[in-house]
Amino acid sequence: MTTLTAPSSTRFVESADGTPIAYDVTGTGPAVVVVEGALCQRTMGTAKALMPLLAEHYTVFAYDRRGRGESGASPTDPRSSDPSSLVQREVEDLLAVLGVAGPEAFVVGASSGAVLVLEALRAGASMRKVALYEPPFIVDDTHAPNDPDLGTRTQQLVDAGRQGDAVKLFMRTVGVPAPAMAMMRVLPVWKKLCGVAHTLPHDYALVLEHQQGEPLPVGYLSGITTPALVIVGGKSPLYMKNAQAALAAALPHGTLKELPGQTHMVRGKATVPVLREFWRS
């Protein structure tokens, strides 16, 4: 098993298309790579929630997905807005980080970051075990399908300089109440969210295909042999619980775990003990 020791500091690894991907390394022990969801980066997302507890037992690799934090953005390319191209670039970025962490790394991904982990596994990436926290699929009629053109609509808003509107569209899509959104708009975090609004089409490219109220395609995950823990919050809505159950059942070595009292927001104290138990087994 890969065991590393390193101080916390920003480092960079070059992705396949030359984009620099920023990451830091904290803790001592087996390697763990954390993959963020939409609008998050390593200083304000899943890594921030998990790292203080994970670093007591693991070497944690937290990276900024492209276009966020200290990582570079995609080079200007007419193909860059094509969904399959966006997914491929994101997979290549994760592969670059895994190249540093090692093939025996554990991996935890949240929301669209969990879908990115699945796509990397489908592409043949080597990971010891993976934990998937609520990939936001919609696989039945307990939630209306999301607009398949959300990625295109968001790109148009960003191109027009309307980053705030792109973030609001995302917030409405994921069900953030209007009063909560109004409060966020006067807080410092809103500026940070708008600063990475241009990356939202990447997340839509990852998830929209499986947010149409249809069951996961037969064979979609059949080639994945890596043990996977699918985590769902006990307070999450029915459609999310149903999607996680379907995902765990579709994975050849999938296990479902519900965290009582939890939601789509990753909390370290509730999640890390479950991760440690799964990775030790």
Note the pLDDT tens digit of each residue in 89-116.
999 999 999 999 999 999 999 999 999 9
Query: 251 and 126 in one domain?
Result: yes
Number of domains comprising the chain: 2
**Using an 8 Å Cβ cutoff, are 130 and 109 in contact?**
yes
Give the pLDDT band (50/70/90) at residue 79. very low
Query: 27 and 121 in one domain?
Result: yes
Query: 105 and 47 in one domain?
Result: yes
Query: 223 and 184 in one domain?
Result: no
Residue 129 forms part of a structural domain? yes
How many Å apart are CA 117 and CA 243, to the nearest integer?
Answer: 16
Query: 70 and 43 in one domain?
Result: yes
Q: What is the pLDDT of residue 67?
A: 95
The per-residue pLDDT of the chain, averaged, comes to: 93
Q: Which CATH number characterizes residue 66's domain?
A: 3.40.50.1820
Give the pLDDT band (50/70/90) at residue 9. confident
Query: 119 and 155 in one domain?
Result: no
Residue 209 forms part of a structural domain? no
pTM to 2 decimals?
Answer: 0.94
Residue 144 forms part of a structural domain? no
169: containing domain: 150-204
- Please report where in the chains the tokens 């769902």 appear, as a residue: 232
How many Å apart are CA 10 and CA 275, to the nearest integer?
Answer: 25
Query: 164 and 102 in one domain?
Result: no
Task: Report the pLDDT averaged over residues 178-190.
Answer: 90
* pLDDT per position as a tens digit, 137-173: 999 999 999 999 999 999 999 999 999 999 999 999 9
Residue 145 forms part of a structural domain? no
How many Å apart are CA 141 and CA 125, to the nearest integer?
Answer: 33
Give the pLDDT band (50/70/90) at residue 76. low
Query: 171 and 113 in one domain?
Result: no
How many Å apart are CA 89 and CA 92, to the nearest integer?
Answer: 5
Query: 251 and 230 in one domain?
Result: yes
Query: 112 and 37 in one domain?
Result: yes
Structure tokens at 215: 């069951």
Query: 264 and 195 in one domain?
Result: no
Contacts of 272 (CB under 8 A, 6+ apart): 50, 53, 54
Virtual CA dihedral for 230, 231, 234, 240, nearest 10 degrees? Answer: -60
